[in-house]
Structure 1
Amino acid sequence: MVQKFGSLTAGAMDPYVNRERANQGKTKTGRSFQTFLLGVLFRTDLFFLAAGFLLGRAVIITSLTPFVLPFFATVFWMKRKKRWADSLAVLAGGLTLSVGQAFYGLLALLIFLAGRQIMTAFHRAHEERWLPALVFIAGILVRLLCQAAFTLNLVWTDVLTAGAEASLSALVTLIFMQSVPLMSTRVNHKLFRNEEIICFVILISSVLAGTIGWHVYDLSVDHVLARYAVLLFAYAGGAAIGSTVGVVIGLILGMASVTSLYQMSLLAFSGVLGGLLKEAGKTGVAAGLLIATLLIGVYGGGYAGLGSEVIDSAAALILFLFTPKSLIRQMASFIPGTREYQAEQQQYVRKLRDVTVGRVEQFSGLFQTLAKSFYPPAEEDRPDDDLFLSKVTAKTCQNCFKKESCWVKNFEQTQHLMLELREESRKGNRDENAHLHRLWREHCSKADKTMDVIRKEQGLSELQEKMRRNVKESRRLVADQLKGVSQVMGDFASEMKRERGLHEWQEEMILSKLNGVGLRVESIEIYNLESGAIDIEAVLPNDNYGACEKVIAPLLSDILGESIVVEKKQASDLPGGPSRVVFISARAYDLETGVATAARGGGFVSGDNYSLFEIGSKKYVLAISDGMGHGERADMESQDTLQLLKKVLKSGIHETLAIKSINSILSLRSTEEIYATLDLALIDLQNATSKFLKIGSNPSFIKRGGRVIMLDAGNLPIGIIRDFDVDVKTEQLKSGDLLIMMSDGIFDAPKHIENKEAWVKRKIKELQTNDPQEIADLLLEEVIRVGDGSIDDDMTVIAARISHHIPEWSAFSTDRGEKRFSRAE
């Protein structure tokens, strides 16, 4: 069933892939259009000029203009290059309204610049902290001066009005400082917060307030633009965003024109209906506006004014219908909670992951290159005889009167004799070859001195050769470690590339089946469907009663045809938020272990040590190490070996390379002849394939029914030589097999038995229990009893039994689900 399920992924999903590619092409075209549009707006400064012009015209509650000073403050705080042009646009907008409005704007600009110059002289840093206070003070002064200039009379109501306008200006300054910079980021995309979205909507509403009073034939420009904005936000963000935008825009427009207060109800209702009908596309959103216009329009102007309201809505609908979907989709990517916003977040995470993967792969390649450079030459250079002879002759023959006779007339004979003396010195046979010594004395006038120099130079040469071997071994160790690190980093980079697969219809089928049994599951994402490597992620509202382990995992096991378990469960950081659960393939086998140990003479310190640990979730390691001798030193050697083994294997380095690295470390760290044996079994719990690495250790045994299989290898103990090949044996285990590993103390105990392997096999065969702990205890007890109760060496026995994995919650099937799955296949 799993094979059929997985095989459909490549073939049945081709239309989906083609559709995705087409959508990607359309998205790319839409983004190109958006990039061009934003480039025109920002590079020509069109947006800021238009916003400044309209904000200079915006008046609320008949006489208050709380948008001029905040706009001045924001553009100068942003240090825009065209801030003076933007300021002139404000004055031009005010002049179209009245001369008094233009005078107010000019006076506000002058007072603000003077106050900003004074504040900058004392507080140059953190301008955003004192800027709202400066706007408040400047707002009061400007309004009082204007009132005094035009009326030549001030009353207490003027002071209250100035204070209210200044307070509102300070608040609008904070809003503009949040929203205006969002429009100056050009085409760079970022993810906005809800507060930033609301501030941006208030900015748009303030700009739209400057269009009040404009008419094109029978169309009211402010009504058309306001409804168009609500349609865009309702279609992009849904009912919540649509209604919020409608309320904010309607409130500000209503404050600018008291006769338009009913517009807030119309816009809010349009936002709600349009957001609720957004799944029907632009038609549904348009229907929401028409319904709201017909219902609320009668309330605002009666039947007489309903026609103008419908015309304004129709104009907004035309603008909305001609707006490219790609632009609206890009707009939705800025609004938190939308699918586009989540896709943008995932794209950001994907980009970050790709960058990280690229850097990790670069480091992996770097370590691979370093490993190649550290590896010593394939063939070791032979000793340089000419260099050796030159050193000897420099100390002996250089000042000899027979130099010409020996090295000119009899060169070959002199060289041959010296090299033979060197070979004799290398073997340590200084007095055995009397014939050679006699020939040399007859040939050389300084025979004894020359032979002493040859011995000394040979000793130095051997010492240098040993140092070269140590350096060579150290280079090989470093190269192996670098290669292992490169491999681990490469594997890590591959794991980071974990990408969601194209399994749309499988996800829908699984989701419908889970919801069909009453489980609330928000989404299912399939990353891998390969047998033994299934990876599925689900999002649930909550899991207070363990439904993931008790119901969902068994249902997935029934659908996919193999055991599925919960790997991890991540609760939301927010109270009541959704939980993410990852389901993976369960291991096919379980391993039960038992250990029995005894120290020499019944002591507390044993030279034997063992380690049982998991690598990941589907590999298990059993290891025994026996240090040379007994006591604390042997205990330290075996512990160090196992600790190194555990850390290296858990890092992800291959087991063969791990053994070689540990051997090199132990052989190089001390000049003493110390070593430790290592008996390692690595069992794959997915397919029961086992690898056995034996370094100077005793045979292991597998009991399968009434038959006992012996596994042995001939590698020397670890650390005793520097360069060796690890002999790895592979064995396919079966459910019910018993694996027994033991140290040499078990074999050495029965002194009177010659064929100890056969004796151990017979004892294992005679065991009547399958419990690993009982087996380990019985074998250790039998060995001690045969040895007359004496413990002459450290003893360790590890027993393990492999069996099929049985999930805690067994899978159950439903006929309805099976039929649906069969039709899908």
Structure 2
Amino acid sequence: MWKRFFQRGDSGQAATATSAGIEKLPNRLGVKLAGVQAYLGRTSTILTVMAFFLGRAMILGELSPFAIAFYAVVLRLKRSAARPVLGALILGSFTTNGLFSIWPILVLALLGYRFVYGLLSKKKALTLGTVPFVVFLVDSAVRLAGHTATGDMNSYGLMMSLVDGFLSMVLTLIFIQSLPIFTFQRGVKELRNEEIVCLVILLASMLTGLHGLHLGLLSFENVFSRYLIMLFALIGGAGVAAGVGVVTGIILTMASLMAATQIGLLAFSGLLAGLLRDVRKIGVGIGFGLGAAILTVYVNDSSSIVVALEESAAAFAMLLLTPKNFIDQVSRYVPGTHQHSLSQQDYARRIRELMAMRIREVSSVFQELSRTFAQISSAQQKAAVQDEVMNKTFQSAATQVCKGCFKQEQCWEKNFYQTYRALFDTVTLIDIEGGIAKGDIPKELTKFCVKTDAMIPALTGAVEISKRDMQWQNQLADSRNMVAEQLVGISSIMADLAQEIRKENHVSADHEEHIVAALEHLGLSIRSVDIVSLEVGKVEIEVTSTGATSADEGEKLIAPLLSEVLGENIVVTNKRYWEDENGVTMTLSSAKLYHIETGIASAAKDGRMHCGDSFTALDVGNGKFAVAVSDGMGNGERAMQESSAAIRLLQQLLKAGFDEQLAIKTVNSVLLLRSQDEIFTTMDLALIDMFTAKTEFLKIGSAPSFIKRHGKVNTISGENIPIGILQEIDIQTVEEELQEGDLLILMSDGIFDAPKHTDDKEGWLKKKIEDFESNDPQEIADMLVELAVRINHGKIIDDMTVLVARVAKYKPEWATIRLPGVQKLKRKGGQVLPDPDKLVPMT
């Protein structure tokens, strides 16, 4: 993450009006220090600076496990930086220990590890997992050898050697987790909690290298430790800052027991600083200063209070000078921060782009396949096939009759065109008449052909064969056309899906936080809110709630509140319960302007178990509602199988996004291929737009449909054959603008043909429907079936099905909930407009 920071220019802006003037200063400095940032962006430079301070780091004045652990990890992960790191470690150790003390032992440990590393690497026996154990053995062995050489070997020396080796091993494990962030060997998406702790330990270990460095009364060690805690308080909040304070205090205490009081001070100060981070840098500084002042009063004298406050002020000044873009870059990798949420959204956006690109590629493949089939079945190809069949007809007859004839050369070489024309006219006559008498033979053929008695039967037989060939060729061409249309449909669906995936929903974490805060304002326990879309009329939000007090909490509380926040009616469209966690995930979507109430009644012929009619009423998506009735050929189980198969396939095609006409053509093709028997079924389909109530009727061999409005009944009818008979079907469409309260009645021919006593069945049914006083769809469906049975003296003379749909205006069951302090989300044309004010209500 540091690499990205150093390679980016300064683009930060002030976070709040309070700190705007102060934060402009580091932004200007960031521009001036661009050259320095570019230099520090080199990995080896960063690691070398870190190595210098780790070389100075000591524990209890005699243990230095940091150096060999750091060098071992750098040698493994970033070997190109190993030499400058080794030099920096030795130089850092020399500046704090001098020529005498443990400096020679440290150098021998580093060189000894380099020698062992070289031997094991040649044998390929050293892995990243074995590095900590090798560090332990080398460090302990060198220190034991040093004690032995100086004659200082005793139980205390043995224990301290082993302790130093053990600490080196533990620090190696820690550095393995934290150093990849600086060596850029992994694409960091976010830091896990363990990695954050390891990173803090690494940084705190560097701070111990500042021990003993002062500027007047100010300790560099204390100033930078306070700066580190303030930085993490600003980025991660109270919890992260308190944890950093504890870890930093412990590491500093290991270097000097005099710093034991720092643990509580740093942790408490970090906690207060994190609690005030909403006021940005100013709040963090005030919170940390208060914490430091309060605890210093209890643990130190008055003079120490002034020094502690001065150190905190120096750290706060460093925080003010820290460029905002650096803070934002670090925040991207800390879970729970706003910048991390933006980073996750950006990552999800790239994934969506990749998915959309792959889907578009597959869509292009289907489009190309469709063009290929369409070219094969084009008019030019059909004409070429017809010419080929005609040529085969002539060739077959010529092979049978003309072979061996003394006039063959004269007919087929010298007078080819005349011969071809004569045969063509003869074949045309045979095709039209079905045969040809001897007296009807064209004169052009009798002029030059001396074998007409043999030629006519040969041509007749060849024409019959050609007819069968042409029939199969036409069926094959029609099938190719249907496949081409279906491939175009699939390609269109996939292209639309890619477009939906690519849509930028312009939803930020602020809007999700805004909704969570509004719901929690009602006292609800909300685990998460995921916004899929905020487009007007196409809102889709998933809310996960825990500990729900009511099964219809979503309908009574969540949906009304979101309706107020979004400015449109929202309803619960789906629920998923999590029994093990006592939670529920609700999908909330835009309510349609209209909703459809349906009633269905059906009866099988002679009271049988199986009715040959099938029906469906379902929301197919995209704001459309489909109602359909299908009447299978005949009665009983076989008719039921055919009609139900047609209805089920139609349902799936419409829900998948297929155009309704292409869906019906596909159903027709499937019925043709299901059996060699003559199988057909009618299809009566109505698609109702639930935003405009505009309805499209598609009728294939079905009985008339009726629309009842204000007591008057209109008829929708079509004249065509059922599906499953011919490859090419005529789909008649009728569009009607329905209104609130309209009744749409679809029926099978068992109902329509029930009034045997009259020829005007349509008029008779219209009159009866007009006489019905009820507007309840189910009651009307029941009354129509009962009427059809009653006029036939109680007999069910055919399968009967009635589907009644009523168009009703959507009326929310619960009023919207308006809460004080909760703002509405501003939207325009589906875009969420930026709002300079904070969306989340403050309590």
Length-normalised TM-score, structure 1: 0.85
Give the whole-Å Cα distance in 2 for the aligned partners of 1:519 and 1:618.
Answer: 31
* Cα distance change, pair 672–442 in 1 and its aligned pair in 2 (3 A): farther
Alpha-carbon deviation of 1:460? Answer: 3.5
* Cα distance change, pair 652–342 in 1 and its aligned pair in 2 (3 A): same
Aligned twin of 2:110: 109
* Cα distance change, pair 426–605 in 1 and its aligned pair in 2 (3 A): farther
* Alignment partner of 1:650 out of 652, 655, 669: 655
Counterpart mapping for 1:343-354 below 5 A: 343-354=342-353
Counterpart mapping for 1:504-515 below 5 A: none
- AA matched with 2:483: V
SS at match of 1:676: coil
Alpha-carbon deviation of 1:202? Answer: 0.2
Aligned twin of 1:254: 253
- AA matched with 1:338: T
Aligned twin of 2:378: 377
* Cα distance change, pair 34–251 in 1 and its aligned pair in 2 (3 A): farther
Moved more, 453-462 or 431-440: 431-440
For the Cα contact (< 8 Å) 2:144–2:161, is it kept in 1?
yes
* Cα distance change, pair 548–597 in 1 and its aligned pair in 2 (3 A): closer
Counterpart mapping for 1:177-326 below 5 A: 177-185=176-184, 189-216=188-215, 219-292=218-291, 294-295=293-294, 302-304=301-303, 308-326=307-325
Give the whole-Å Cα distance in 2 for the aligned partners of 1:504 and 1:106.
Answer: 52
Give the whole-Å Cα distance in 2 for the aligned partners of 1:439 and 1:338.
Answer: 95
* Cα distance change, pair 657–252 in 1 and its aligned pair in 2 (3 A): same
Give the whole-Å Cα distance in 1 for the aligned partners of 2:33 and 2:516.
Answer: 36
SS at match of 1:686: coil
- AA matched with 2:107: L
For the Cα contact (< 8 Å) 2:341–2:509, is it kept in 1?
no
User: 2:569 aligned with 1:566, yes or no?
Assistant: no
Alpha-carbon deviation of 1:117? Answer: 6.8
Alpha-carbon deviation of 1:185? Answer: 1.1
Alpha-carbon deviation of 1:494? Answer: 3.3
For the Cα contact (< 8 Å) 1:498–1:527, is it kept in 2?
no
Aligned twin of 1:767: 772
Give the whole-Å Cα distance in 1 for the aligned partners of 2:619 and 2:535.
Answer: 23
SS at match of 2:784: helix
Moved more, 466-475 or 128-137: 128-137
SS at match of 1:597: strand
User: 2:489 aligned with 1:484, yes or no?
Assistant: yes
* Alignment partner of 1:585 out of 590, 609, 616: 590
For the Cα contact (< 8 Å) 2:273–2:284, is it kept in 1?
yes
For the Cα contact (< 8 Å) 2:27–2:324, is it kept in 1?
no
Give the whole-Å Cα distance in 1 for the aligned partners of 2:511 and 2:242.
Answer: 36
Counterpart mapping for 1:585-734 below 5 A: 585-616=590-621, 618-668=623-673, 670-734=675-739
For the Cα contact (< 8 Å) 2:241–2:271, is it kept in 1?
yes
- AA matched with 1:722: Q
Give the whole-Å Cα distance in 1 for the aligned partners of 2:525 and 2:131.
Answer: 50
SS at match of 1:211: coil
Give the whole-Å Cα distance in 2 for the aligned partners of 1:564 and 1:365.
Answer: 37
Alpha-carbon deviation of 1:233? Answer: 1.6
Give the whole-Å Cα distance in 1 for the aligned partners of 2:802 and 2:588.
Answer: 37
SS at match of 1:592: strand
* Cα distance change, pair 607–68 in 1 and its aligned pair in 2 (3 A): same
For the Cα contact (< 8 Å) 2:546–2:581, is it kept in 1?
no
Aligned twin of 2:148: 148
Aligned twin of 2:81: 82
Alpha-carbon deviation of 1:791? Answer: 4.2
For the Cα contact (< 8 Å) 2:363–2:491, is it kept in 1?
yes
SS at match of 1:250: helix
For the Cα contact (< 8 Å) 1:598–1:794, is it kept in 2?
yes
For the Cα contact (< 8 Å) 1:70–1:135, is it kept in 2?
yes
Aligned twin of 2:500: 495
Alpha-carbon deviation of 1:200? Answer: 0.0
Computed over aligned residues only, the root mean square deviation of the Cα atoms, in angstroms, reads: 4.2
Q: Which runs of 5+ in 2 are unaligned?
A: 1-16, 827-836, 838-843
Counterpart mapping for 1:290-439 below 5 A: 290-292=289-291, 294-295=293-294, 302-304=301-303, 308-375=307-374, 376-378=377-379, 380-381=382-383, 383-384=386-387, 385=390, 388-390=393-395, 392-407=397-412, 413-427=418-432, 429-431=434-436, 434-436=439-441
Give the whole-Å Cα distance in 2 for the aligned partners of 1:202 and 1:816.
Answer: 43
Identity %: 37
For the Cα contact (< 8 Å) 1:30–1:327, is it kept in 2?
no
Alpha-carbon deviation of 1:85? Answer: 3.7
CA displacement, residues 27-48 of structure 1 (integer Å, 9 cap, x when unaligned): 9999999998776445350122
Give the whole-Å Cα distance in 2 for the aligned partners of 1:424 and 1:594.
Answer: 59
Alpha-carbon deviation of 1:204? Answer: 0.5
Moved more, 383-392 or 352-361: 383-392
Give the whole-Å Cα distance in 2 for the aligned partners of 1:26 and 1:775.
Answer: 77
Alpha-carbon deviation of 1:555? Answer: 4.3
* Cα distance change, pair 555–89 in 1 and its aligned pair in 2 (3 A): closer
SS at match of 2:785: helix
Give the whole-Å Cα distance in 1 for the aligned partners of 2:265 and 2:520.
Answer: 38
Give the whole-Å Cα distance in 2 for the aligned partners of 1:517 and 1:433.
Answer: 99
Give the whole-Å Cα distance in 2 for the aligned partners of 1:422 and 1:536.
Answer: 70
* Cα distance change, pair 671–39 in 1 and its aligned pair in 2 (3 A): farther
Give the whole-Å Cα distance in 2 for the aligned partners of 1:203 and 1:571.
Answer: 44
- AA matched with 1:185: F
Alpha-carbon deviation of 1:148? Answer: 1.9
Alpha-carbon deviation of 1:114? Answer: 6.1
Alpha-carbon deviation of 1:711? Answer: 0.7
- AA matched with 2:657: G
Aligned twin of 2:804: 799
For the Cα contact (< 8 Å) 2:43–2:183, is it kept in 1?
no
CA displacement, residues 186-234 of structure 1 (integer Å, 9 cap, x when unaligned): 7955211111111100001111212212345665332332222222222
Aligned twin of 2:136: 136
Give the whole-Å Cα distance in 2 for the aligned partners of 1:310 and 1:713.
Answer: 90
Give the whole-Å Cα distance in 2 for the aligned partners of 1:526 and 1:291.
Answer: 40
Give the whole-Å Cα distance in 1 for the aligned partners of 2:115 and 2:759.
Answer: 107
Aligned twin of 2:50: 51
* Alignment partner of 2:555 out of 545, 549, 562: 549
Give the whole-Å Cα distance in 1 for the aligned partners of 2:419 and 2:379.
Answer: 34
For the Cα contact (< 8 Å) 2:700–2:730, is it kept in 1?
no
- AA matched with 2:106: G
- AA matched with 1:462: K
For the Cα contact (< 8 Å) 2:75–2:81, is it kept in 1?
no
Alpha-carbon deviation of 1:730? Answer: 1.8
Alpha-carbon deviation of 1:597? Answer: 2.9
- AA matched with 1:361: R
Alpha-carbon deviation of 1:446? Answer: 1.9
- AA matched with 2:569: S
For the Cα contact (< 8 Å) 1:470–1:668, is it kept in 2?
no
- AA matched with 1:369: E
Moved more, 730-739 or 170-179: 730-739
* Alignment partner of 1:740 out of 738, 742, 745: 745
SS at match of 2:194: helix
Give the whole-Å Cα distance in 2 for the aligned partners of 1:542 and 1:36.
Answer: 56
Length-normalised TM-score, structure 2: 0.83
Alpha-carbon deviation of 1:59? Answer: 0.8
- AA matched with 2:419: T
- AA matched with 1:162: S
Give the whole-Å Cα distance in 2 for the aligned partners of 1:208 and 1:816.
Answer: 46
Give the whole-Å Cα distance in 1 for the aligned partners of 2:631 and 2:689.
Answer: 25
Aligned twin of 2:173: 174
* Cα distance change, pair 498–31 in 1 and its aligned pair in 2 (3 A): farther
* Cα distance change, pair 194–326 in 1 and its aligned pair in 2 (3 A): same
Moved more, 381-390 or 82-91: 381-390
SS at match of 2:682: strand
Alpha-carbon deviation of 1:63? Answer: 1.2
Number of equivalent positions: 797
Aligned twin of 1:9: none
CA displacement, residues 588-612 of structure 1 (integer Å, 9 cap, x when unaligned): 3343333333334433334322233
For the Cα contact (< 8 Å) 1:750–1:786, is it kept in 2?
yes
